[in-house]
Structures are given as C-alpha cells and as structure tokens.
C-alpha cells in the first residue's frame, strides 16, 4: 500500500483537528475539507462570494502542492484530472463554480511518468530540431480524437493498440478514472504469425493486415493463402482459419490482461462491457 503523505504549505489552511486538510496516497489526492478561509489572515470573509473565491484559490493551491509533492522512483505528475467535488454535504459535483458553500473537497487522479523517460523523449525530439511545447498521455490524445462525450459520460475503456504496447484510459461519469499500459501490441500478433506459419516477419505482417481477424469461428473463406516459406523454403498453403486461430489466441491474452489489471477492476465493473478499440 502506498504511504500517506500530508500536504502542507503557504496559502493552504490548516485544520484544527487530527484530520489533515490534504493527503496524497500514491497517485491520488484526498482532502477532508477545503474552506474559504484566508490562510494568511486566518479568517473567513463576511461576503459569501469572497468565501467561494477563496475556497477555489485554496483548492488550486492544494492541487499544485500535490503536483510538487515528492514522488517515489523519480516520478513526475503528467496531468491532474479532477474526478468529483464535494461541497459541504453535497457530493458527486462535477463543476462547483457558481455554487455557495463553506467546505469544498476534491478528488483528483494523477498519472505519473518516470522523469528519465520524459527527459530522454524530449531530448530525442530536440535533436531533430523540434521544440516540445507540451507532453500528454498517448491514451488521452487517443481519447480526445475518437471518444464522444456520451461515451465518456456512460463509461468507457479505450484501448489504443500500438506497435509494442497497448495504452488504455478509463472514463466514467465524464472523468478520467484510470490509465495504464499493457506490454502487448501489434508486433506481438505479427511475431506469433511468423512463428506459427514459419514465415518471415514481413510476410506475417502482410498476412495480418490483408487477411487477419481475431475470431476463428467467424471465418467463412475456405480458400487457402499462399505464404512464403522461411529461409528460401517453398511457399506454403495456409487456411485463413489457421491465421485467425493464431491471432485470436493473442487477442484473448491482451483482453485478459486489460480485464485483470488489479488497480482498476472497480472502474471496469462500473462501465460494464463498453470497450472501444483503436489500433495503429
């Protein structure tokens, strides 16, 4: 279990009880209550509108402290995703702007990335004469391009199948709930075909792109495919159902890896069976 880290700093009110105002546990930040008290003056403004404005300033300060907090293994916070707000006794609030209250709490999701990986990526791009203006999660970029607002609201898992990995992002209630990377991608499907059909990687890639599908039970084409042999061997006849059987086995492994990830089983149960697949 991740160690609890109490966040305190200039401009953030301190509670007069044993419950800290802001706590960071792993990649999540929790608050007991964030009030509209001015920490520098130590009092609440008599104006409700100013209390609300100050509460949001305190909230932004809490989120910034969470971003700056020390992370294990030289990790850096890549994004801050607010999930929901709690204002006084009202929970499940998406956007509290314009509402009046005394105590405001927020739950955020903080995806992280190793600092060394980030630095190497930026350095490689800079060597080509390009300037990096910002870095975002690949899964977030994919979600922005293919997911509708209804899908994010109802709950969805987007699996972006790349060459060597599959990036996933989980939405529920319009908010990001989880992100992860599974070390299985298109290259693994190609390698399986190359081994199973005893052919080259290039020939296996061509077979995958032109004739591949991952459900052997739905193959209707019985005409054999001619696949080049390995190392100068004669071309061989391969049934399309054999290609589908090889790809289906790897596809099931990938889906099992996505479904069994221990950190997001609760989020997966909330979205049911709504999976969007995007392959490259």
User: Could you read off the pLDDT of 199-249 as tens digits, one per residue?
Assistant: 999 999 999 999 999 998 888 888 899 998 888 788 999 999 999 999 999
pLDDT of residue 1: 39
pLDDT of residue 28: 60
Among 40-44, 91-95, 259-263, the range of highest mean pLDDT: 91-95
**8 Å CB contact between 210 and 276:** no
pLDDT of residue 87: 82
- CATH 3.30.420.40 in the chain, residues? 136-280
Q: Is 272 left (phi over 0), alpha (psi -120 to 50) or beta?
A: left
Find all residues with CB under 8 Å of 65, minimum gap 6, and list them.
Answer: 7, 8, 9, 12, 22
**Could you write out the three-class secondary structure of 118-168?**
HHHHHHHHHHCCCCCCCCCCHHHHHHHHHCCHHHHHHCEEEEEECCCCEEE
Query: Strand 4-7 and strand 34-35: pairing?
Result: unpaired
pLDDT of residue 116: 87
Among 69-73, 103-107, 203-207, the range of highest mean pLDDT: 203-207
Q: What are phi and psi of 220, to 5 degrees?
A: -115, -15
**8 Å CB contact between 4 and 23:** yes
Q: What is the mean pLDDT of residues 85-94?
A: 81
169 vs 177: CA distance, rounded Å = 8
- Residue 96 pLDDT class (50, 70, 90 cuts): confident
Q: 136-280 architecture in CATH?
A: 2-Layer Sandwich (3.30)
- CATH 3.30.1330.40 in the chain, residues? 4-114
Greater confidence, 103 or 19? 103
pLDDT > 80? residue 196: yes
Percent pLDDT > 90 in the chain is 27
83 vs 173: CA distance, rounded Å = 9
Least-confidence region, from 54-58, 67-71, 143-147:
67-71
Least-confidence region, from 65-74, 253-262, 267-276:
267-276
The rounded mean pLDDT for the chain is 79
What are 37's strand-pairing partners? 44
Among 15-19, 75-79, 221-225, 261-265, the range of highest mean pLDDT: 221-225
The class (CATH top level) of 4-114 is alpha beta
pLDDT > 70? residue 276: no
pLDDT of residue 54: 77
pLDDT > 80? residue 7: no
pLDDT > 70? residue 115: yes
Greater confidence, 5 or 100? 100
Greater confidence, 258 or 185? 185
């Amino acid at each position: 279990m991740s160690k609890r880290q109490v966040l305190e700093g200039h401009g953030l009110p301190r509670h007069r009880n044993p419950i800290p105002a802001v706590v960071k546990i792993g990649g999540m930040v929790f608050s007991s209550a964030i009030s509209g008290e001015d920490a520098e003056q130590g009092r609440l403004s008599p104006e409700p509108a100013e209390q609300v404005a100050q509460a949001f300033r305190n909230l932004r300060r809490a989120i910034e402290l969470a971003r700056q907090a020390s992370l294990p293994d030289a990790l850096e916070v890549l994004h801050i995703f607010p999930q929901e707000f709690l204002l006084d006794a009202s929970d499940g609030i998406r956007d509290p702007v314009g509402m009046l209250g005394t105590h405001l709490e927020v739950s955020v999701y903080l995806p992280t990335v190793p600092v060394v990986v980030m630095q190497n990526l930026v350095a490689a791009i800079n060597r080509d004469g390009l300037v990096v203006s910002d870095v975002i999660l690949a899964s977030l970029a994919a979600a922005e391009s293919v997911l509708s607002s209804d899908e994010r609201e109802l709950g969805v898992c987007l699996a972006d199948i790349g060459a060597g990995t599959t990036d996933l992002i989980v939405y529920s209630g319009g908010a990001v709930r989880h992100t992860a990377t599974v070390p299985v991608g298109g290259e693994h499907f190609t390698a399986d075909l190359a081994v199973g059909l005893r052919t080259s990687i290039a020939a296996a890639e061509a077979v995958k792109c032109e004739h591949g599908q991952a459900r052997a039970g739905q193959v209707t084409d019985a005409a054999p495919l001619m696949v080049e042999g390995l190392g100068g061997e004669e071309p061989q006849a391969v049934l399309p159902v054999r290609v589908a059987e090889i790809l289906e086995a790897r596809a099931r492994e990938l889906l099992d890896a996505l479904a069994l990830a221990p950190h997001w089983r609760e989020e997966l149960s909330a979205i049911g069976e709504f999976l969007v697949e995007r392959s490259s």
